[in-house]
Amino acid sequence: MPAADSAPPTADPREATLRRLLRITWSYRADCLQLLGLQLAVVFLTVAAIVLAGVGIDFVRHCADRTVPAPALPFFVPDGATDKAVLVWLGLGILGAAILRALIAFVFGLVSVRFLHGRIVVNLRSQVFAKLQQLSFRFFDSNASGSIINRVTSDAHAIRLFIEGVILQLAIIAITLAACAAYMLSADWRLTLACLSVLPIQIWFAIRFSRKVRPAYEENRELMDGMVLGFSENVQGIQVVKGFALESRVQARFAGWSEAIRLQKRKVFGEVALFWPVIDGLNRLSMAVLIGYGGWMVARQEIALGTGLVVFAGLLQQFSAQVTTLAAVVDNAQVSLAGAKRIFEILDTDPGVATEAGATSPGRFLGRVAFEDVSFEYQENATVLRQLSFAAEPGQRIAIAGATGAGKSALLSLIPRFYDPRSGRVTLDGHDIRTLPLPELRRQVGIVFQENFLFSNTIAANIAFGHPDATQERIERAARIAGAHTFIMALAEGYETFLGEGGVNLSGGQRQRIAIARALLLEPTVLLLDDPTSAIDPETEKEIMEAMEAAMVGRTTFIVAHRLSTLRRADQILVLDHGKLVQTGTHAQLMAQDGHYRRAILVQSEEAVA
């Protein structure tokens, strides 16, 4: 699918959205013209069948009463044919038109599904998903997962609906109305104007309906986001819900979200309930005018019964049906504009963190990491790190200590450029990391998070996630270093054991060890461990840390740590307090000082004794 390019800023965001939708439609003009050509053939055959029926009625009247003029016969009726033969030919013409119309309609349906559902929706979802992969953590921090999921799964249909339910339908309506109006005017312009006298009222009512429901559809999308988010959180947190016996409260909350959506939809349905009967009533008024005025004209022999009144009635039904469809187009336009706006919001979002133009690779890194007067904030005016400066030499093990909220995880997140600092810079081997290709930088940094996510796949696939082509030997070597090989082999299917969502069929310690193996498989230059043993018992922690000793050799390792055993092994300890670096040194050096670190260790020791 051609890229949904950005629109220049305009005073009306809806106008900008509409222009972008039109540009996307234009990029598919060949497919749209193909569908339009098929629909044009359907319209032609529909009108032809109605006209042939009118000719047949007039010919039957002529056969019954020779004083009634014979109608002009179509080209396929042979000259000199008997009355019976003429009726047979007319019947075959109507049947042929119906069969051909059905076949073309079938082809139209196949082409429509292949084009609209098979290409547009799939390609758009791929575009949105690809854009999500480029966005920085700031986007995900400020947007609920339910809203993001809803946009990719539901709102992606907005552009399909615009092309199918608005643009193509408008073209089909225009062609059908033009064909019907042209024949009707050629038959009798007075009757045509009389029958179409209600059309301005229908157009005015459609415009009014559009303006009324426009904001309601946007509100509905926001309410749906909230419900999807609530449902997602409830499924993910089902253990907490059941653990606190809050099933009834959660049910009540979900019922509240559903009720809010229902009440909001009632506003729209109220307008719809008024709109459709009015449009239908005006259509029937047109038919009443036709029967009354047209019947009077037939009685005065100003128009024929078949090719006049009957054909008029058939074409007027087609005309009315298209006017009714026009009302649906108005409805579709509001739905598609609301959904497309939310899709374009994602596509237009600044990635925030991206590879800068002219970024070059220096090759394999040694692993010297330095922070130079770095300040950082997740949100404006909420500083998390304040003027941090330190350097970690290649192969050093750096422990980061501090109370909850001191900024330990924030510090780690700046090294692989999950975020960019507000001021100052982070360097790797003397290179500002903003000047390095982002994918290469992150391949040099292995990460084990405090809460690690495992995918619904095999254990081997999870370990090799960062290197899908890794051999089984490399996978097992990483698992051994992480202390995971023994428990994996104890499973019935070993490395081919399929994990449930989030690795639910493993213990917390087992999940953590697989995550460590996943990081080690890349053989990174820099290793980030965000309190990786917090969910592991002391005995298992000891096994893992001993196994990782060899893995840490030659790698610059940052460990967020609270346990004394980990802190003692560090070459340098960074002590953070409210985002400031208040102390640096080894365990022995810091214990010799009367500072935050010593006081925290003493408190920990007292708690251990108690």
d(C-alpha 585, C-alpha 592), whole Å = 10
Contact between 336 and 159 (Cβ < 8 Å): yes
> How high is the pLDDT of residue 286?
83
pLDDT at 256 exceeding the cut of 80:
yes
Q: In terms of C-beta density within 10 A (0-12 exposed, 13-18 middle, 19 or more buried), how is residue 497 classed?
A: middle
d(C-alpha 513, C-alpha 536), whole Å = 9
pLDDT at 66 exceeding the cut of 90:
no
Nearest CA to 172 out of 239, 108, 236 is that of 108
Architecture of the domain defined by 369-609: 3-Layer(aba) Sandwich (3.40)
pLDDT at 267 exceeding the cut of 80:
no
pLDDT band, residue 576 (cuts 50/70/90): very high
Nearest CA to 210 out of 101, 107, 333 is that of 333
Residue whose structure tokens are 């059941």: 242
Interval 60-67 mean pLDDT: 82
Contact between 421 and 375 (Cβ < 8 Å): yes
Q: Do the bridges between strand 397-402 and strand 556-560 make them parallel or antiparallel, or are there none, so unpaired?
A: parallel
Nearest CA to 502 out of 494, 492, 510, 490 is that of 510
> How high is the pLDDT of residue 390?
93
pLDDT at 8 exceeding the cut of 80:
no
φ, ψ of residue 427 to 5 degrees: the values are: -120, 150
pLDDT at 604 exceeding the cut of 70:
no
d(C-alpha 575, C-alpha 597), whole Å = 7
> How high is the pLDDT of residue 10?
46
> How high is the pLDDT of residue 110?
85
d(C-alpha 531, C-alpha 541), whole Å = 11
Interval 348-373 mean pLDDT: 83
Lowest mean pLDDT among 172-186, 417-431, 432-446, 485-499: 172-186
Q: What letter would DSSP give residue 498?
A: B
d(C-alpha 58, C-alpha 70), whole Å = 7
Pick the residue with more confidence: 409 or 268?
409
Contact between 346 and 407 (Cβ < 8 Å): no
Tokens at 337, concatenated: 């504009």
Is the CA virtual torsion 599, 603, 609, 610 positive or negative? positive
Share of the chain above pLDDT 90, in %: 14
Share of the chain above pLDDT 70, in %: 89
Domain residue extents for the chain: 15-348, 369-609
Indicate the pTM of the whole model: 0.69
Nearest CA to 374 out of 580, 108, 138 is that of 580
Tokens at 346, concatenated: 């994602």
Q: Which residue type sits at 131?
A: K
pLDDT band, residue 207 (cuts 50/70/90): confident
Tokens at 250, concatenated: 């959660």
pLDDT at 277 exceeding the cut of 50:
yes
Contact between 398 and 572 (Cβ < 8 Å): yes
Interval 479-493 mean pLDDT: 87
For 503-539, the pLDDT digits (tens) are: 778 887 788 888 888 888 888 889 898 876 665 666 6
Tokens at 256, concatenated: 């509240």
Pick the residue with more confidence: 225 or 130?
130
| Residues β-bridged to residue 377 | 383
Nearest CA to 604 out of 559, 560, 564, 545 is that of 564
For 550-562, the pLDDT digits (tens) are: 667 778 999 888 7
> How high is the pLDDT of residue 546?
67
Q: In terms of C-beta density within 10 A (0-12 exposed, 13-18 middle, 19 or more buried), how is residue 415 classed?
A: buried
Identical fold between 15-348 and 369-609: no
Q: Do the bridges between strand 397-402 and strand 431-432 make them parallel or antiparallel, or are there none, so unpaired?
A: unpaired
pLDDT band, residue 370 (cuts 50/70/90): very high
Pick the residue with more confidence: 191 or 393?
393
Q: How far is CA 430 from the centre of its chain?
A: 40
Q: In terms of C-beta density within 10 A (0-12 exposed, 13-18 middle, 19 or more buried), how is residue 110 classed?
A: exposed
Contact between 254 and 231 (Cβ < 8 Å): yes
pLDDT at 424 exceeding the cut of 90:
yes
> How high is the pLDDT of residue 610?
47
Tokens at 259, concatenated: 């009720």
pLDDT at 426 exceeding the cut of 90:
yes
Interval 51-57 mean pLDDT: 87
> How high is the pLDDT of residue 171?
86
> How high is the pLDDT of residue 563?
76
Q: Indicate the average pLDDT of the chain.
A: 82
Say if domain 15-348 classifies as CATH 1.20.1560.10: yes
Q: Which residue type sits at 599?
A: R
First vs last Cα of the chain: how many Å apart? 65
- The number of helix segments (H) and strand segments (E) in the chain equals 24, 10
> How high is the pLDDT of residue 548?
66
Nearest CA to 566 out of 592, 530, 593, 599 is that of 530
> How high is the pLDDT of residue 92?
93
Contact between 47 and 321 (Cβ < 8 Å): no
For 99-156, the pLDDT digits (tens) are: 999 999 899 888 887 777 667 777 888 888 888 888 888 888 777 777 777 777 777 7
